C-alpha cells in the first residue's frame, strides 16, 4: 500500500501558491489618476477611464485601460482585488502592457492596477 507523503503534498501546495502570487510592478506606473468611468464588458472584465487631473479638459493625461480576468488588481494596502473593486472616484496607478493607441485619451491594456484610495 502506498501512502501519500504529507510533506511532499504541503510543499507542492506551497509552491503552487507562490507561483500565483502577484506583486506590484517595480517600474513607474503608466498613468496615475482618478477613475472617472467604469465600463463592464463581462464577468470581471471591462475598462476604466483614468484622468490625471479630473475635469481638466486642457490636455491633461487621460487613458482608457482594458482590464481582463488575468489583470491583477490591488486594493488599498496591496490586498488582492478584482475588477469589481474598481469604482468611480478612486485614485489608481495603472501599468500598461503591449501597444498603446496614441489617441486622446490613450487606449491600452492594463498589466496591473493599484487602488490608492477609496471614492469620497
- pLDDT tens, 26-70? 999 999 999 999 999 988 899 999 999 998 877 789 999 999 999
Would residue 94 count as lying in a domain? yes
Grid cell, residue 115, equals 487602488
Q: Is the pLDDT at 112 greater than 80, yes or no?
A: yes
Which residue range is the domain that position 55 belongs to?
6-117
Q: Is the pLDDT at 17 greater than 60, yes or no?
A: no
d(CA 105, CA 82): 23
pTM: 0.80
d(CA 60, CA 50): 11
d(CA 105, CA 10): 48
Would residue 66 count as lying in a domain? yes
User: Under DSSP, is residue 24 helix (H, G, I), strand (E, B) or coil?
Assistant: coil
Here the CATH number for the domain that contains residue 104 is: 2.40.50
Cα–Cα distances (Å) from 39 to 61, 67, 87, in that order, read: 19, 10, 10
pLDDT at 81: 94
Count: domains in the chain? 1
**Above pLDDT 70, what percent of the chain?**
81
pLDDT band, residue 91 (cuts 50/70/90): very high
User: Under DSSP, is residue 13 helix (H, G, I), strand (E, B) or coil?
Assistant: helix
Would residue 1 count as lying in a domain? no
Would residue 98 count as lying in a domain? yes
pLDDT at 9: 39
Amino acid at each position: 500500500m502506498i501512502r501519500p507523503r504529507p510533506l511532499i503534498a504541503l510543499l507542492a501546495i506551497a509552491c503552487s501558491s507562490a507561483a500565483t502570487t502577484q506583486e506590484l510592478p517595480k517600474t513607474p506606473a503608466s498613468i496615475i489618476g482618478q477613475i472617472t468611468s467604469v465600463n463592464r464588458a463581462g464577468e470581471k472584465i471591462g475598462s476604466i477611464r483614468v484622468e490625471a487631473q479630473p475635469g481638466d479638459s486642457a490636455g491633461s493625461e487621460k487613458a482608457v485601460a482594458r482590464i481582463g480576468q488575468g489583470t491583477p488588481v490591488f486594493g488599498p494596502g496591496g490586498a488582492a482585488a478584482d475588477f469589481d473593486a474598481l469604482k468611480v472616484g478612486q485614485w489608481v496607478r495603472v501599468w500598461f502592457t503591449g501597444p498603446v493607441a496614441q489617441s486622446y485619451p490613450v487606449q491600452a491594456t492594463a498589466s496591473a492596477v493599484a487602488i490608492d484610495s477609496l471614492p469620497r
